[in-house]
Amino acid sequence: IRDHCRCPTCFHPETKQRLIETFLELPEDIHILDVREEGDLVQIVSDGHTSQYPRDWLAASALKGKTRAVGRQGTTDETDFKQTPVEVEYAKVMESDEGVGEWLLLIRKYGFAYVNGCPATPEATEKLLERISYIRNTHYGAFWDFTANMAAKDTAYTTLAIGSHTDTTYFSDPCGLQMFHLLSHTGGQGGKSLLSDGFATAKALRDEDPQAYKILSEVPVHSHASGNEGLSIQPFQTYPVLNHDTQSGELIQVRWNTTDRAAIDLPLEDMDLWYKAARKWARQLEHHHYWEQLRPERPLIFDNWRVLHGRSNFTGKRRLCGGYINHDDFISRFKMTNFGETKVLEQVSLG
Ligand SMILES: [Fe+2]
Ligand SMILES: [Zn+2]
């Protein structure tokens, strides 16, 4: 507890960073000599120092592991997203942090949300996305604005249908949020958007075949992005399809991308197990399809760690713009706008 002292000598009140060299400056055999309460503060006297802590902060540090993880993830009860509409007004998001909080709560709860009334321009869409956080730069650029012209060598830049997938499985830290804004679609049809709730799919798979769920949670799957000249992006570590919080056991991330999948790291005699489990997952995904046509002035945003996306093929000319936000930045902004700074910083006492 001495290591986490909140007095201004030990913890910078502005930067919220530790100022002491715990392992060099504090005696190893430290003891609590006295505890005093003063209003909202608790003072703890130890060898040569009086530490102080906000009472709620100290109380929060006593929470058990699962509660801690829930606080860190900023989890709210996830809800089956077929009970649409899940939407928020553009003006509200642009004008107030309260509007941003409402928007992010919808995304956290349902996995996705639409924004009504956003001008159908790249400029307005980019500003909208930046209400959450800075846009993540990748080899596709930061904010993108594209037509089916194969500007980047990826199926996304064609008119082909694309099955349910999550993006950027080839990064150790896949992109958190993804926005799509259809600016125009002329001289053709099709291109319906597909969303699938990966968490609901995982739950259904666990009910159907717990062993298959376990295999997809444990077997590492390698991925790569190699279609661009001079690049082959691969994660520093391989991850399974289903990833859980190590403390609470809660499912927090789905990684599923057939086009970018590389090898499965299993002995040959066990390989069949993964393929069988993946087959069951793919079939369950089909039961969780939700289709909707994108419209100008109504950008879609979804949680790429939970919701899989795809589209039907199309004819004519489509112009889409959008971008990514990191998952940690999304959760940070979600927690700050929904719980407030004091509550969020209490979680820091938990690790
Ligand atoms: Fe995608
Ligand atoms: Zn101190």
Residue 134 zone, left/alpha/beta (φ > 0; ψ -120 to 50; rest): beta
Q: Is 350 a residue whose pLDDT tops 70?
A: no
Tens digits of residue pLDDT in 169-179: 999 999 999 99
How close is the Cα of 259 to the center of ligand 2, in Å?
53
By the 10 Å C-beta count (0-12 exposed, 13-18 middle, 19+ buried), 312 is classed as middle
Residue with tokens 């709210």: 76
How close is the Cα of 10 to the center of ligand 2, in Å?
4
Tens digits of residue pLDDT in 2-26: 999 999 999 999 999 999 999 999 9
Point out the ligand nearest to the CA of residue 45: 2
Q: Give the per-residue pLDDT at 281.
A: 98
How close is the Cα of 304 to the center of ligand 1, in Å?
9
Supply the DSSP symbol for 348.
G
Backbone angles phi, psi at 279, to 5 degrees: -60, -45
> Which distant-in-sequence residues (6+ apart) come within 8 Å of 213 by Cβ?
202, 205, 206, 242, 277
How close is the Cα of 156 to the center of ligand 1, in Å?
7
Buried b / exposed e over 285-303, threshold 16 CB at 10 Å, is beebebeeebeebbbbbbb
Please state the separation of Cα 48 from the chain's center in Å.
44
CB–CB of 111/301 below 8 Å?
A: no
Instruction: List the domains of the chain with CATH numbers.
Output: 2-62 (3.30.2020.30), 76-339 (3.60.130.10)
How close is the Cα of 25 to the center of ligand 2, in Å?
12
Q: Is 349 a residue whose pLDDT tops 80?
A: no
Q: How far apart are CA 297 and CA 115, in angstroms?
A: 8
Q: Is 108 a residue whose pLDDT tops 80?
A: yes
Q: Is 84 a residue whose pLDDT tops 70?
A: no
How close is the Cα of 43 to the center of ligand 2, in Å?
10
Tens digits of residue pLDDT in 136-147: 999 989 999 988
Q: What is the mean pLDDT of residues 252-275?
A: 94
How close is the Cα of 302 to the center of ligand 1, in Å?
11
